[in-house]
Chain A
Amino acid sequence: MKLPIYMDNHATTRMDPRVFEVMKPYFLEIYGNAASRNHSFGWEAEEAVEKSRKQIADLIGATPKEIVFTSGATESNNLAIKGIAEMYAERGNHIITQATEHKAVLDTCKRLEKEGVRVTYLPVKTDGLIDLDQLRDAITDKTILITIMYANNEIGVVQPMAEIGKIAKEKGVLVHSDGVQAIGKIPVNVNKDGIDVLSLTAHKLYGPKGVGALYVRRRNPRVQITAQMDGGGHERGMRSGTLNVPGIAGLGAACEIANREMAEESKRLRFLRDKLKDRLMNDLDEVYINGSWEHRLPHNLNISFAYVEGESLLMGINDIAVSSGSACTSATLEPSYVLKALGAGDDLAHSSIRFGIGRFNTEEEVDYVGNKVAEVVKKLRELSPLYEMAKEGVDLSKVSWTAH
């Protein structure tokens, strides 16, 4: 076993060597511009792009013409939300989203608010799921778009997209979903799930960084999006810019592998994830899972070790790459807004660790991680005045702290 161990697969994934092999010729040999229509360099590049479109479409139940290539999910989310707000401005100016979205969605919505768009940020329940009745109630005759992520990047909670899609359809509202964490990990089907616009990125599914796509529905209904960048009118006018052919070939290959191996892989990852969870929960007291256990990605474990601060835990497990919701690990010195939205209390947000198990993690690694984390949590609890007080029976919520 090699150290350090990478278990932060919600942040990014190692590229699959099979994907790398597919990409290689497009750097030095097949380097044409996919938009060049009058020579073989261009045709070969275009062929690679069209193959990728098909591979992506197959993974999400779409047709190739509905795939628009972008630089990644942040761009896809911006393009979808801003593009729809602009295109459908005459129909309405109201967008519904939720509190636990990725910043690429939240900050896009905030910018639109400055431009006069009204945005409803639905709260989530303690399990991280939105309340469908609240969603229904939030829809007005001015609502043009519901944007809800498929699965959350921190807590892995999977939203009931099919039901959201149904509600939206009844009311004639478009649905966009940030599918970054879900696509290639669990079955996603734009028709069954009633999704009109879907963002994805290659680097979360063992593909290269810097390339993504936006699915844009072409029928029932035909969705139109105003381009956010001016230029050569590539991608049916929705996204100008010379296509990143090697990246696109890699994204397609990554989707094809995911499509083929997802069923097997998700079983294996779920087994490893559950083993890690059981290892920690059987050995340690006051350990809490953040978000719904049932509606969760198979490879996500977001867990809080009460009375232990997240960054100090990360310091003790410095041969393991994971993330924490602790303020001390963020640039803003604010604990995770996703965990705060669950209403768990800031103290548990400070104590949270996110494990993202991936294709290249082994059972041996999971065992090592479980042992190491348990050992460091015990050590830090020996150091923790809060653990000592809790053991003495003090109700920490009743202590008058000197907040700073």
Chain B
Amino acid sequence: MAYSDKVLDHYNNPRNVGSMDKSSPDVGTGMVGAPECGDVMKLQVKVNPETGVIEDAKFKTFGCGSAIASSSLATEWLKGKTVDQALEIKNTDIVNELALPPVKIHCSVLAEDAIKAAIGDYKRKKVGAPKAEAVAVQ
């Protein structure tokens, strides 16, 4: 399979790789996918509690090159957006930007899910609600 130049660029130079303190109240963590499916994405956002703007985003991904590229791209897009703007990122935006072929669309879906899970985690922390099951943090 041939990869688009953008997928190759993100794979070779992934942006914002890393982890933030998931216990921090300003950090939202989303982990989606499953090892037996061949994709797990962990995406974290650090939100300014005053402005609601995402100041930092980090990811780590187990998955194919397109999954790595989708999550790397997501972190780039998240920085500087408010949490509400972040929720407007659609998987189709990622598909278009990275020119993903049909068999790789699930990678973009996973990235969208990871964004929603991370923002959801941050919002729950903010209101002090218990963590939801779907966020697979131990």
A388 at the interface (CB under 8 A from B): yes
Cβ of B3 and Cβ of A309 under 8 Å apart? no
The digit string for B31-42, where 1 denotes a CB below 8 A from any CB of A, is 111111111111
A17 at the interface (CB under 8 A from B): no
DSSP majority for the B interface?
A: mixed
B106 at the interface (CB under 8 A from A): yes
Cβ of A385 and Cβ of B32 under 8 Å apart? no
Q: Give Cα A388 to B41, complex, Å.
A: 12
Task: Quote the shortest CB–CB distance from B97 to chain A (angstroms).
Answer: 18
B5 at the interface (CB under 8 A from A): no
Task: Quote the shortest CB–CB distance from A264 to chain B (angstroms).
Answer: 38
Q: Give Cα A327 to B109, complex, Å.
A: 17
Query: A368-404: which have CB < 8 Å to B?
Result: 382-389, 394, 396, 398-404
Given A308-B62, A315-B11, A404-B110, A382-B17 contact (CB < 8 Å): yes
* B-chain residues with CB within 8 Å of residue A404 when the two chains form the complex: 32-34, 37, 39, 106, 109-110, 113
Q: Give Cα A404 to B111, complex, Å.
A: 12
* Among B14, B41, B64: residue with most chain A CB under 10 A: B64
Q: Look across to chain A and name the residue whose beta carbon is closest to the beta carbon of B36.
A: A346
Given A308-B62, A347-B35, A383-B68 contact (CB < 8 Å): yes
* A-chain residues with CB within 8 Å of residue B62 when the two chains form the complex: 307-309, 383-387
Query: A335-382: which have CB < 8 Å to B?
Result: 335, 345-347, 350, 382
Sample 24 A-B pairs with CB under 8 A, ordered by A number. A307-B62, A308-B62, A315-B3, A315-B8, A316-B11, A328-B63, A333-B103, A350-B36, A383-B17, A383-B60, A384-B61, A386-B62, A387-B62, A388-B19, A400-B136, A401-B40, A401-B136, A402-B32, A402-B134, A402-B136, A403-B34, A404-B33, A404-B34, A404-B39
Cβ of A350 and Cβ of B35 under 8 Å apart? yes
Closest 4 CB pairs of A and B: A401-B34, A346-B36, A385-B42, A347-B35
Number of A-B contacts (CB under 8 A): 101
Query: A292-350: which have CB < 8 Å to B?
Result: 307-312, 315-316, 326-328, 333, 335, 345-347, 350
B65 at the interface (CB under 8 A from A): yes
Of the residues B14, B106, B110, contact of A383 by C-beta under 8 Å? B14
Query: B50-70: which have CB < 8 Å to A?
Result: 60-65, 67-68
Q: Give Cα A384 to B59, complex, Å.
A: 9
Query: B90-138: which have CB < 8 Å to A?
Result: 103, 106, 109-110, 113, 133-134, 136, 138
Task: Quote the shortest CB–CB distance from A330 to chain B (angstroms).
Answer: 10
Contact surface of A with B, Cβ cutoff 8 Å: 307-312, 315-316, 326-328, 333, 335, 345-347, 350, 382-389, 394, 396, 398-404
Query: B1-15: which have CB < 8 Å to A?
Result: 3, 8, 11, 14
Task: Quote the shortest CB–CB distance from B121 to chain A (angstroms).
Answer: 13
Q: Give Cα A386 to B39, complex, Å.
A: 10
Q: Give Cα A326 to B14, complex, Å.
A: 21
| A-B contact sample (19 more), CB < 8 A, given A312-B64, A385-B31, A389-B138 | A307-B62, A309-B63, A309-B64, A311-B65, A312-B63, A316-B11, A327-B37, A328-B64, A347-B35, A350-B36, A350-B38, A384-B62, A385-B62, A388-B19, A399-B136, A400-B136, A402-B32, A403-B37, A404-B106
Of the residues A311, A350, A383, A399, contact of B138 by C-beta under 8 Å? A399
Cβ of B40 and Cβ of A403 under 8 Å apart? no
Q: Give Cα A384 to B41, complex, Å.
A: 8
* A-chain residues with CB within 8 Å of residue B3 when the two chains form the complex: 315
Q: Look across to chain B and name the residue whose beta carbon is closest to the beta carbon of A316.
A: B11
Task: Quote the shortest CB–CB distance from A329 to chain B (angstroms).
Answer: 8
Cβ of A312 and Cβ of B65 under 8 Å apart? yes
Q: Give Cα A396 to B34, complex, Å.
A: 10
* B-chain residues with CB within 8 Å of residue A346 when the two chains form the complex: 35-38
* Among A315, A386, A396, A398: residue with most chain B CB under 10 A: A315
